[in-house]
Structure 1
Amino acid sequence: MDWTDRHCRVFHRRLTKRALLYTEMVTADAVIHGDRERLLGFSAEEHPIALQLGGSDPAKLATAARIGAELGYDEINLNVGCPSDRVQEGRFGACLMAEPELVAACVSAMRESQPVPVTVKCRIGIDDQDAEADLTRFIDVVADTGCTSFVVHARKAWLKGLSPKENREVPPLDYQRVYRLKVRRPDLTIIINGGIETIADAETHLEHVDGVMLGRAAYQNPYILADVDRSIFADASAPPTRGEALTDLLPYVERHVAKGGRLSNVTRHILGIYHGQPRGRAFRRLLSESATSASATAEVLSEAIALAEHGFGRQDRPDAA
């Protein structure tokens, strides 16, 4: 939430054409009653793209799923993994892992309301649920609805005592539990998530499961996505360089600013692309200082690209008048 908005996804699509991109989690009530263009609008170039929903009311989730399908999303995902207090108060997210029958009712209603595949994202357990039987039962009950794809974050969620940030880092990772789930249910598509930082790590996991979800790693160091198509999907085409990906983004940025948007709406998502590169800090500093102005244009991004790629800004170029 607050990260993978439409601008982030358009940027990430410049790095990988094949990976499935996810929206932020949007509640069913927001989909039904909110500003749909702001919450759900996306560009055709973002495909394939999944809409991630939160909620616990089967009828509302069915309506939200139908709206998502009508808007053209390729997948509808029900989030049963988010551990935040705000989410628990709304009775959705990870707390629903204690109610597999309710989750099954939600998934069933979502599947019946529209033709797009419905998937579920969950944890390996919550709080004192520590027996593997709890995860097994949850998956089996939900899978009985016809849901065949699960994204499993390989950590428990502690709903009491840990913050959302701590829940992403403190509970130990248990990849083996997810591997065993796949062995037990080979008929299901099992996608693993949690603490995966490199494409090499992803390839190791893919020896045991069907897919890998990258979260913070893809956001903090987005250029790792440039190797996804070649390494994971065996795409023979050369991956884009950092400069090529950002230059390809410029027309989108220009359109966004021309429509009244702020440059920083887009550039806040690209700050990590030169992670670990010689001029990466200067790139981030220039955008952090100059892109937030209401009058900032795509020229600021052009200058930042030139600085990162060549070590000079627009005013310093040899051909500058």
Structure 2
Amino acid sequence: MTNLKEVARKAGVSPSTVSRVINNHPYVNEEKRNRVLQVIEEINYIPNINAIHLKKGKTNLIGVVIPFSNHPYFSQLIQGISEEAIKLNKKIVLFQTSYDNDQEIDALEMLKLKQLDALIICSRNISLNIIEQYVEYGPISIFEDITHSKLRTTYIDHYKAFYTALNHLYEHGHRNISCAINRKNSTSSLLRIAAYKDFCKEKSLTFNKKMIYENYVLLEDGYILAKDLNKSPTPPSAIIVSGDNTAAGLLLSINNDAKEHLSIIGFENHKISEMLNLTTIEIPLINIGKSLFNQLYDNNITHHFFETKLIKRNSVKNINC
């Protein structure tokens, strides 16, 4: 295989001159530049991109860690990240981890080995202590509210958002309220469950762990959730679902009579919630994705907060207390 030294020999120049030509260095004699380019074309020489990146100390590649891509929540984050990456001529490398620790560590190891310039973590399973050990190898931003961290953070107030949804249902007369989440032990779910507990205490409602339904994330999970709700000896009059996709699946899986007796609030304000007139909590995910990317280029460690908003539609009904 032809290497850089072979190109230099054939062109009658030094290897450093060939390197400068390949990297578009301005201070190269025009006649030498043309000789090098002619040899490169004649022998069809392809530079070792990895070696060039290693020498420059950057790859223009940004890693993005997501658990899965078939969900609007993460696709909107990726959209925001990608829109900003294009502006700076950066490429995105996706790590779809399914919350597998080894997969998440693989992304961090690529940062350590200089195969990535920076890393964005949209959702995680591994501990923060592990992640923070890799900060010295490149900037890392994460979609999570973390205080006193070496990580760049963009976040929302999950506790407040969930409490707002609960209060909206309470104001419409609901007292038997359930919630459906994905991973019970994730940072966001823990905050939402805390809001649920505190709300029940403040309103003198009975807190029942069985009213928290776990492992619902996709559209088709809404059908499973509908069946699980039907099995309950005391079905709720209202439910908060921590994702518009699953909330939409639930709404589409119940009959018209059930729709009159079950109020539903989703999360995200995805297009499907608008189409189905689904009350939801708006999370500005595209702008959050943009923030996560741009934070990588802040000179200092920054923390950006985004507000959420209750979008009132027709899926919440008034009932008699």
**What TM-score results when the alignment is normalised by the length of structure 1?**
0.29
Q: Which has the higher contact order (CA 8 A, sep 6+)?
A: 2
